[in-house]
Each structure stands twice: as structure tokens, then as C-alpha cells.
Amino acid sequence: MSRLIVATIVLLGAIGGLLAAASWNRGGDPQVLTLSEREVVLAGPWTTRDADTRPQVRIRWQPREDPLDARLWLPDVTLRELGFVTGLPAGAPEARQVYGRALPRTAWVAFELAGPDWQLMEQRLRMGASRDTVDQENTVSCPSTRAWIPMRCGGATTRARS
Amino acid sequence: MAEERETAQRRADRVRAFREEIDALRAEGACPIADAELAAVRDHHDRLLADLASRFDVDRTAHGRQVSLGLRIATLLGAGAFVAALTLLVLRVWCGLGQPAQVTLLCAAPLAALAVVQVTAERRGLRDIAALFAMVALGTAWFAIGQTATLLGMPFSPLLFWPAAGFGIAVAMSYGFGLVLALSLGALLVAVASVFFVSGGVPWSAVFERLEPLVGTAWMLAIVAPRAEPLGNWLVAPARLTGLVVGLGGLLVLAAVEGTSVLALQPSSARLAYECVFPFVSIVVTWQRLRAHDPAAARLAGTLLGCFLLIRYVDWFWDLLPGWAFFLVLGALSLAAIGLLQRARSRVEHA
């Protein structure tokens, strides 16, 4: 028997294991979410000599990086649940050093499309409370529509503009 | 096979040393062996070397050893080129294929490389070709595993390092490919160290940002490497060297760069602690490896110690001293280092 049979089995086993895991993960009733070009854009160059020829897309989403806003959708409680240490006030002199050394944590972010948070945001927008601020954020605008797509992120909402 | 080749190479080296010494003794007129007896020994050695060269592809002369080094470099470059060619080709034709064809294509490249290894490894004079295709098999297998995960929409996980390392170790063990073993053990170190972070809910890529788990795992490998001797003498040296490269190299980074430690200390305090630890560890390793007649590991530890001293010297004195004094002191320190190393060498030789 070939000395390389073990290597062959390991390789085929690994690839087979990945296929089986994907098959298991995709089992059950599929749930379909239809996205349009407003939310999903084609990305990547296809014309260069050695480029990867696979079509790639990326999802447009709106990060909520404003510190005051972040305290609403990612409060201390959620941060502690994720494993971060949050005892030190953000304004303390040593806060930058302490929080700067914190290790990143693994967390899942769920996006919500046109759900209750969107309605809440619509209400806020109608009230005009944050319209001006929002317009200055790093959003992708689409002249044909003025709709907002709120997306749930870590238990609170983030939003993408279409 | 690798072990037999090692033994054969050592025998060939002894024959070469014996011949050189006999030639020197004859030139000095101090050779007590008669010419006829020497001729008989020489004939025997000629036949022996021819046999060893045909069976194990050993280097018979010092020039042959130098050429072998060049062959190894060419092997590495060639393997890199083949892997790049195959991966770019796969990406080029990828778009027009269905998923089964894509997976088949990904598997076909390493399997074809393994077939070439199988054919060439047991043929006389083709060992370097076998080593090259072993590297190609490793590179394309790693690409296949990573690309299949991407194809199936899976996140890049440290779990992928386990089969990648397993495949490489299996290839290396088949015919004794040292470089393939070293790279695979490197992947294994990352896989083991990532468990530390993943179990704590931290992304596995923190392995490269906070180095203690990786360094600790590497030192464990360096320490347990001699216990792998029953599996084959040949794999002890590459395993130990891999452990030392990652372990000592990681310690050097911890001692030189702030913020790379996972310890609950101020970054400057952690670096200071490692500044104290690194010279001690590297000196001990250099000394211990010199005594064990392991020149590669001793050279590695000595080189990293030199890098550390240079980094510290520049860090501490570049702003403090004028340029001429900076380099003058550096030259004087080099002289001191030469003196120390000469003393160390004579001690080792007399130990």
C-alpha cells in the first residue's frame, strides 16, 4: 500500500467533512430574503489579467459609530455579556489604555430588514429629531428613493440607507 | 527511508573525513598505513560510496553538499511557483464551473502532486523532484481546504488548521520531507494556540496579536521533539527547530514590541519582563544546543540574541549618543561578543 494513503485520506476526509457540514447547515426549510441592488452591490475587479473571476457582492450597511448613538444600541450590559470589562468610566484618564488593551470578542450580528426598528426610525425621522445628523453620516444615497432600511445589530439597530 | 538516508549520509561524511585525514597524514609523512592497504580501503570506499549514492542519493564530496543546498533553495522556489500557478489557474477558470466541478478541481491538484511524489520518491536521483512535489501537494491542499470553506460560505476557522496540519504531517512522514514537516507543525502550533482564545470567546486571529499561547505551544513542541525519536530520528531536528523558531522568535517580539502580551500587566511592564527573560533563555538555549552538537539551533538562538541586543542598543542609545560614538560602541561590543563566543567555544570543545 502506498505510503501516501494516509495523506490522501486526510485530504479527502477534510473536504468531505466540509461538504457534509455545509449540507447539514443548509438542511431544513429554506427561508428566503429578497434583496435588491439597493442593499447588495457587485464588488471586485474582473478585468485584470490574473483576477479571481468569481462574481462577488457586498452588503451595504450603515455602521453606527457615533459614541452617543452607540451607547443606545450597544450599552454596557451588552458589552459585559460579550465578555468585555466595562467598570471604568469612559472619561477616566486610564480608560484609553485599559480599553485599548482589551481583546476583541466573537459576537454574531443580526441585520433586520424593514422591521419594527425601521418603523421606530421612521417615526424619529418624521419628527425631524435627527434628520440633519443622519444626512451627514456615511450613507450611500439613492436619488430615486428615500427609504431607510434599519438593521438589527447586537440587539439594537443599525441602519442602511437606500 | 529518511532515516536510512540520514545514516547513509553520515557514513559518506565519515568516509570523506577519513580520506582527507589520510591525505593530510601522507603529506606530512606520518601515515603508518602501507600504500597497498590504503588502496584496498580506497577501493572498498569507492564501491561503498557508489552504492550509497545510487540507493540514497547522498553527497559524496563537500562540493556535492553545497550543490545540495542550492537544490533545496531551487526546490522551495519551484514549489512556490507551482502552487501560485495552480491557484491562479483555478481562480481563472472557477467562474464557469459548477460546485461539484469546483470541489473536484480543488482536490485534483494536491492528489496529482501526491501521485508525482509517489512515482519519484522511490526512484534513484529523483528525490529533489519528490521534495518539490511534496511542497506543491502541501500548498495546493491548504488552498483546497481554505477555498472549499469559502465556496461553501463558511467563515475561516482555526478548525481548518487541524486537517491542514494533519495532511502535511502525513506527507512528511511518508518519505521524510523535513520542510513539509516544519510548515505543518507551524500550522499545528497555530491550531493548538487558537484553542486558548476561542475557548474564551476571543477571535482566533488574536493568536498573532497576543503571543504567549503560541510561544508556549512552540516551547512545548521544542521540549517534546526528542520524544518523537521512535517515529524516526530524522524528524527530531525539524520539529525542535520549528519549536525554537516560533518560541524564541515570539519571545523576541514580546521583548521588543509593546502590546503583544496577553498578561494583565501594563504593556511597558510586560515588555520589561520579557526583556529580562529573553537574553537568559536565548543564552541557555545556545549553550545547551552547542553542547548537544546541534549547530542549526545554536545558530538560530545566537542570531536572535544578536537581533535582540541590537534592537535594545538602538532603542536605548540612538538618541543618547552622537552618531560616531554610537557606532564606535557598537564595534567595541562586537569585539566583546567575539571574545565571549570564542571562550564559549573553547569551553564546549573541552567539555
Q: What is the pLDDT of residues A40-52, one digit of tens each?
A: 888 765 555 555 6
pLDDT value, residue B129: 87
Q: Nine-digit cell at A17? A: 467533512
Distance CA B127, CA B106 (A): 26
Query: For B241, which DSSP code?
Result: H
Q: How far is B159 from chain A (nearest CA, A)?
A: 10
pLDDT value, residue B141: 95
Q: What is the pLDDT of residues B61-78, one digit of tens each?
A: 766 767 777 778 888 888
Each residue of A28-40: b (16+ CB within 10 Å) or e? eeeeeeeeeebbe
pLDDT tier at A77, thresholds 50, 70, 90: confident
Q: Nine-digit cell at B188? A: 499545528
**In the predicted model, is pLDDT for residue A127 greater than 90?**
no
| Number of neighbours of residue A145 by Cβ within 10 angstroms | 10
Tell me the chain A residues in contact with residue B164 when contact means C-beta distances shorter than 8 Å.
14
**In the predicted model, is pLDDT for residue A137 greater than 50?**
no
What is the residue whose three cell numbers read 503571543? B211
Q: Nine-digit cell at A57? A: 457582492
Distance CA A89, CA B344 (A): 55
Q: How far is B102 from chain A (nearest CA, A)?
A: 12
Q: Which residues of B lie closer than 8 Å to A, measured between beta carbons?
A: 88, 91-95, 103, 106-107, 110-111, 114, 117-118, 121, 137, 141, 144-145, 148-149, 152-154, 163-164, 166-167, 170-171, 173-175, 197-198, 200-203, 206, 210, 259, 262, 266-267
Alpha helices in A26-142 (DSSP H): 67-73, 76-82, 95-100, 116-126, 131-135
Number of alpha carbons in the 13 Å side-chain half-sphere of residue A22: 15
Contact B111 A17 (CB under 8 A): no
Burial of B112 (0-12, 13-18, 19+ CB in 10 A): middle
pLDDT value, residue A161: 36
pLDDT value, residue A113: 77
Q: Which residues of chain B have pLDDT under 70?
A: 1-4, 60, 62-63, 65, 348-351
What is the residue whose three cell numbers read 542598543? B313
Distance CA B95, CA B107 (A): 17
Q: Nine-digit cell at B316? A: 536605548
Distance CA B237, CA B235 (A): 6
pLDDT value, residue B304: 92
pLDDT value, residue B2: 61
Distance CA B71, CA A5 (A): 27
The beta-carbon neighbor of B148 closest among A10, A18, A51 is A18
Residues 6+ apart with CB under 8 A from B194: B158, B161, B204, B207, B213
Say whether A111 sits in a helix, a strand or coil.
Answer: coil
Contact B145 A10 (CB under 8 A): no
Amino acid at B155: P
pLDDT value, residue B183: 94
pLDDT value, residue B1: 58
Kind and range of the H or E run holding B13 = helix B2-27
Residues B105, B90 contacting (CB under 8 angstroms): yes
pLDDT value, residue A95: 80
Chain A, nearest residue to B106 by Cα:
A15
Positive or negative: CA dihedral B260, B261, B264, B269: negative
The beta-carbon neighbor of B107 closest among A7, A11, A104 is A11
Look up the ipTM and state it.
0.78
Distance CA B232, CA A53 (A): 45
User: What residues pair up with A151 in beta bridges, in sequence order?
Assistant: A158
pLDDT value, residue A63: 67
**Average pLDDT estimate for A67-84:** 80
